[in-house]
Amino acid sequence: MELTGFTIISNVGMAKSLVMEALYAAKKGEYELAELKLKESQSFFLISHKTHSALIQREANGEKLPFSLLFMHAEDQLMSAETTFELVKEMIDMYKRMEKMEKGSVNS
């Protein structure tokens, strides 16, 4: 159970770091790099999500899983990463729209 918790936490940590790198790249107008970072982030997030889902399936099949604060922390980090990912995607879209608007003002 501890290994499972650490697997989720470490992969989610990488996912969140990459999401933030994507945001910083977009802020600089480096949208291709931002998209690559988002895609890379998603691969780490999927590992965490699949690990978490496997545990839920085990419990749903009647297996008694031990309660663990570490696992609760892992779940919290997983949900936080998912929210961060979605917010950053929206922020990158906003940066793109703002850049288009600024360029439109300059060209007018």
Can you give the residue ranges of every domain in the chain?
2-107
Instruction: Tell me the three state secondary structure of residue 52.
Output: helix
The pLDDT of residue 108: 52
- Give the Å distances, CA to CA, from 93 to 26, 44, 86, 88: 9, 22, 11, 9
pLDDT for the residue 69: 79
Residue 2: predicted pLDDT: 83
pLDDT at 106: 62
According to DSSP H, which parts of 1-108 are helical? 2-27, 31-60, 69-107
Over the chain (108 residues), the average pLDDT of each successive run of 10 is: 89 96 97 97 95 89 84 90 96 95 76
What pLDDT shows up at residue 44? 97
2-107 CATH, one of 3.90.550.10, 1.20.58.80, 1.20.120.420, 3.30.1360.100: 1.20.58.80
Active site residues: 73
Angle at 40 between CA 37 and CA 46, to 5 degrees: 135
Amino acid at 45: F
| Residue 5 near residue 39, CB atoms below 8 Å | no
